[in-house]
Amino acid sequence: VLTQSPGTLSLSPGERATLSCRASQTISINYLAWYQQKPGQAPRLLIYAASTRATGIPDRFSGGGSGTDFTLTISRLEPEDFAVYYCQEYGISPPSTFGQGTQLEIK
């Protein structure tokens, strides 16, 4: 089980956002990804292997952590960053699980 916190995060453009994802068991080899989803759109891969940015993702997005505790940090929020963010474990054995999401909203 992946538990994301907070459920909702209210910040202003230019501020720093830190989102948390906690796993109930150790995630092997950091098979942990982060996705961004905007209304009416499919999820978009941001980070994989806990800290590797996907192709085309701006460097204001960074991932960290290991074991059971992971974070997604957005260094300076841009207007287009306000969305829902999900973490995911994608290990060798199924099922792949997603966290319940963090809504990042404009303050």
Partner 1 sequence: EVQLVESGGGLVQSGGSLRLSCAASGFTFRNYWMHWVRQVPGQGLMWVSRISGDGSDTSYADSVKGRFTISRDNAKNTLYLQMSRLRADDTTVYYCSRGGAFSYGPFDYWGQGILVTVSS
Q: Which residues contact partner 1 (rule: CB under 8 A)?
A: 31, 33, 35, 42-45, 48-49, 54-55, 86, 88, 90-101
Q: For residues 33 and 77, which CB has a smaller minimum distance to partner 1 in the complex?
A: 33
Cβ at position 103, least distance to partner 1 in Å: 11
Read off the tokens for 27. Answer: 């995630």
Phi/psi class of residue 50: alpha, beta or left (left: φ > 0; alpha: ψ in -120 to 50)?
left
Cβ at position 101, least distance to partner 1 in Å: 5
Phi/psi class of residue 29: alpha, beta or left (left: φ > 0; alpha: ψ in -120 to 50)?
left
